[in-house]
Amino acid sequence: MTANNSKKKKAKQNGLVIWLTGLPCAGKTTIGDKLFEVLKKKGFSVVRLDGDVIRKSVNENLGFSKKDRDRNLEIVSDLSKSLNDKGNIVIASFVSPYREQREKIKRKTGNFIEVFVNAPLEVCEKRDKKGLYKKARLGKIKNFTGISDPYENPVNPELELKTDKETVKESVNKVIKYLIKNGYIK
């Protein structure tokens, strides 16, 4: 979790949750980190939540069964709501593979923007520096999203970023333009 604690004059904003969802290695963390950097430089109060970081610290005892994934996201959605209610922009990047999970988070947190970070499975596998897809295909990792566990694409996301066709900068700019157009930031 990273927060913007600068003493700069705060830019005008509303609290909201920007939820980046997609397959592992689709680009969620990269886009989330860059979006955080851009909004922070503009003077917004921004908090960054990332699935890998949360799992290594807060929820390290949880696995990847559906029950554990649901519990992980329940905790994260409570945290996101609390931060959102305090007027922060929360940038959350989590695989969050099930539509039902994302709908619950949306209902709980309020101002919620679902951003589908979309990259084809074969592109995600090529980007995988940790070799997780390969291990999953060999059966060494169970419940791996996209291989032995499903990923349910969003039906009507507010935004779709096609990271196999867009640069990180183009994707981040799409999010910023959406936030301005819809009155979340000025």
* Number of C-beta neighbours around residue 112 at 10 A: 22
* Three-class SS state of 93: strand
Q: Look up 96 and say whether it is catalytic.
A: yes
Contact present, 18 and 110 (Cβ < 8 Å): no
Tracing tokens 């904003």 back to the chain, one arrives at: 13
Beta bridge partners of 90: 17, 47
Return the H-helix or E-strand segment holding 121.
helix 121-127
Report the DSSP pairing between strands 159-162 and 112-118: parallel
Give me the catalytic one of 45, 80, 93, 96: 96
Tokens describing residue 17: 């949750």
| Active-site annotation, residues | 96
